[in-house]
Amino acid sequence: MNLALKDIRHNLGRFVLTCLGLSLLLGIVLAMVGIYRGLIVESLGLVRAAGAQVWVVEGDTRGPFAEPSRIPGDMRAAIATQWGVAAAGGVSYQNVEAQHRGQTKRLLVVGAQIARPGEAPRVVEGRPILRSRYEAVADRGTGLALGEQIKLGRDTFTVVGLTKDLVASGGDPVVFIALRDAQKLQFDLTPSAARRELARLSGASGAIDTVNAIVVRLLPGVDAKRFAQDIARWKHLAALTQEGQETVLARSVIDRARRQIGLFTALLLIVSTVIIGLIIYTMTIDKKKAIATLKLIGAPDRRIVGLIVQQALAMGIFSFLTGAALINAGQGFFPRRVVLEPADAAILFGVVVVACLLASALGVRTALKIDPASALAG
């Protein structure tokens, strides 16, 4: 005879309503973890999309995802001729605000060379960029459709291909354009500013053939770490392996988000624990007479403790499962990508179980202090 379940059944409405409230809280906890995972997947997704094994960047910098990095575009040819290089491509990254269907959209514009490392990977619809001017491959997150046009800077681009789930670490969807277009977008001045600049430099023109990084694909068997060390000997260049670049990104970009999300997750878990604790305490107080009667007729303490703890666990587990189902069903409606991994869910489930055990402590303490003689009082 499970007294906990009998009592839950007796107060089913209150139990279900309480669990629904708790499930929303636990659902938010799961969503926070999912958003964090999504952040990692998205951030690393862009770095991994380049398909590089080595990132060559400006000397004494950690690459374009951590700090400004500019190197001459013609350096690509010098890198490409190094022993062990299969392919190399210059890339640039810039955040741009663009108007689309009357809305201002913030985009990460990636400039990449056609058919070279760094260009748009996995075009799920349409085709890659084939012409060096005014073509774009956009992520579906931009809301752009195939054949649609978008104005970036002073030029209008036609969307020829679409990618999926490719966004910057800040959540901005990615648009790929040809490197030359990207350089023009970055350095072209308005006519009046161009005239002023021309006069200031007395005829000398500033070089616009710069890139933020050169991504390198190596031949099979070539050690990326060793290659990066060799490149780093060039005084004006630095090189990171793909693994190193991902670490830099994780540390500099994701770490703060992880701490923020971790803090909110911890706070929500504490709030959930306190709520479960208070509800279990209230339920115990409601059952004071029943517990006193059970003690008086001879029920051992383990039965009383079992009644309280099982109810706390039932509440936590039911709420967790409902919360997980809610978030699973609604993850498409979140403004950020939510990645729910079974391992995270399992860990959170364990944390919820521990929280329930902690939360039931107050109820258990109260129940154990109930005087059996109080059952005799009218």
Q: What is the rounded radius of gyration, in angstroms, for the C-alpha atoms of the chain?
A: 30
Report how many residues bind another protein under the rule CB under 8 A. Answer: 23
Longest dimension (CA), the chain: 104
Among 309, 303, 289, 312, which Cα is nearest to 372's? Answer: 289
Out of 44, 66, 87, 299, point to the residue binding another protein (CB under 8 A).
299
Least spacing, CB of residue 4 vs another protein, in Å: 9
Looking at the Cβ atoms of 171 and 306, the one nearer to another protein is 306
With CB under 8 A as the contact rule, which of the stretches 133-141, 234-242, 299-307, 347-355 interacts with another protein? Answer: 299-307
Residue 305 binds another protein, judged by CB under 8 A: no
Looking at the Cβ atoms of 257 and 290, the one nearer to another protein is 290
Orientation of helix 255-286 relative to helix 288-297, angle to 10°: 60
Exposed, middle or buried, 11 (CB in 10 Å: 0-12/13-18/19+)? middle
Least spacing, CB of residue 353 vs another protein, in Å: 24
Out of 6, 127, 226, 251, point to the residue binding another protein (CB under 8 A).
6
Q: Cite the DSSP H helix spans in 216-341.
A: 224-232, 242-249, 255-286, 288-297, 301-330
By CB under 8 A, what part of segment 353-372 binds another protein?
372
The one-letter code for the residue type at 350 is: G
Pairing of strands 155-163, 135-139: parallel
Residue 11 binds another protein, judged by CB under 8 A: yes
Out of 7, 119, 172, 181, point to the residue binding another protein (CB under 8 A).
7
Distance CA 73, CA 87 (A): 15
Residue 262 binds another protein, judged by CB under 8 A: no
Residue 252 binds another protein, judged by CB under 8 A: no
Question: Which stretches of the chain bind another protein, using CB under 8 A?
Answer: 1, 3, 6-7, 9-11, 289-290, 293-300, 303, 372-373, 375-376, 378
